[in-house]
Amino acid sequence: MVIPSFTRRTILGAATLLGTLLRSFQAMSSDPIFAAIRRAEAADEAHRLSGLVSLQIQATGARPSPEWMAHRAALTEARSTARMALHELTPASFKAADALVSYYAARVARTQTRGAVRAARRRLRVVFSRPGACRPP
């Protein structure tokens, strides 16, 4: 029987690869709502930042380029798609329900408008009235 000799580089490389794989498996959840929340948060943030850039462009007195306007429209479409995908899901666990409520609370805290509060309540009412939905604790 031949025992391979491992170098320090091989052991560190294997440990790094194994650590990355273990972290990715831990981050994976059986409930798709967590991934949908992450996508919606990322789309919201990208749309918010592009709005700030548009405001800076307009503050200088210039008009945004057609390419920028097309990019902003694509971001708006991606945000709408991510939100609709999230709204179609039903939380099946207390953890998922709590994450969904936290997502909407963060959205409301960012905008701080009564319309956002009403829209968040309406969306949550619809989601939690579905059959099989788990209500947050």
Query: Do 38 and 82 fall within a single domain?
Result: yes
Query: Do 102 and 76 fall within a single domain?
Result: no
Please determine, for residue 5, whether its predicted confidence score (pLDDT) is greater than 80: no
User: Please, are residues 78 and 115 in contact by the beta-carbon 8 Å criterion?
Assistant: no
pLDDT band per the 50, 70, 90 thresholds, residue 33 = very high
Q: For 10-25, write each residue's pLDDT tens digit.
A: 555 555 555 554 554 4
User: Please, are residues 106 and 44 in contact by the beta-carbon 8 Å criterion?
Assistant: no
CB atoms within 10 A of CB 44: 17
Domain of residue 105, residue span: 90-137
pTM for the model = 0.72
Query: Do 63 and 96 fall within a single domain?
Result: no
Query: Do 53 and 103 fall within a single domain?
Result: no
Structural domains in the chain (count): 2
Q: Is residue 9 part of a domain?
A: no
Location of structure tokens 């609370």: 105
* Runs of H (alpha helix) within 89-130: 94-111, 114-128
Query: Do 80 and 116 fall within a single domain?
Result: no
User: Please, are residues 33 and 86 in contact by the beta-carbon 8 Å criterion?
Assistant: yes
Q: Is residue 64 part of a domain?
A: yes
Two tokens, residue 60: 């200088």
CA distance 64 to 51: 11
User: Please, are residues 36 and 86 in contact by the beta-carbon 8 Å criterion?
Assistant: yes
